[in-house]
């Protein structure tokens, strides 16, 4: 499984893997419970590989932030719970991404990123190993 096959659907908790695309949307499988759902063009569907986080200088891909969390947590679930107070969430995120724009990245966004990270570590850890393999391949070239 790759990050560009994983989506978040507005109004629905968790993450989903794209099973197939249809004319009217996508059929996706929940990474949390394995249930299949239909997401139409009316739903807000976001590919994780195309989400960027606001920084002070530039936007940083979510892929990079997830990789930094993975390295910080040594491949384990996040030590900070998503329901932690906003101060704790912001302190944790600052350790991972010092240049994030505090005016445009809200505690609710950080909470969602931590939830997504925990789901990916538990249900799709290969996403992180593929990232490392891609970086090594690019470095060799």
Q: How high is the mean pLDDT in each 10-residue block of the chain (141 residues)?
A: 91 94 93 93 92 95 95 93 95 95 96 96 87 47 49
CATH number of 52-140: 1.10.10.1650
Report domain extents, the chain. 3-48, 52-140
Look at the block and give the residue holding tokens 């445009």.
Answer: 104
Query: What's the CATH code, domain 3-48?
Result: 2.30.30
Phi-psi region of 5 (alpha: psi -120 to 50; beta: other; left: phi over 0): alpha
pLDDT of 89: 96
Q: How far is CA 83 from the centre of its chain?
A: 17
What confidence score (pLDDT) does residue 139 get? 45
The pLDDT score that the predictor gives to residue 41 is: 84
């Amino acid at each position: 499984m790759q990050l560009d096959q994983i989506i978040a659907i507005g109004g629905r908790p968790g993450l989903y893997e794209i099973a197939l695309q249809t004319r009217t949307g996508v059929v996706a499988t929940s990474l949390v419970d394995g249930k299949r759902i239909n997401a139409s063009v009316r739903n807000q569907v976001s590919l994780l590989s195309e989400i960027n986080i606001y920084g002070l200088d530039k936007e940083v891909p979510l892929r990079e932030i997830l990789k930094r969390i993975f390295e910080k947590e040594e491949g384990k679930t996040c030590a900070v719970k998503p329901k932690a107070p906003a101060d704790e969430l912001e302190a944790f995120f600052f350790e991972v991404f010092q240049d994030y724009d505090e005016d445009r990245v809200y505690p609710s966004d950080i909470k969602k990123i931590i939830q997504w990270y925990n789901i990916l570590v538990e249900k799709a850890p290969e996403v992180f190993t593929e990232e490392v393999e891609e970086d090594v391949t690019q470095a060799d070239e």
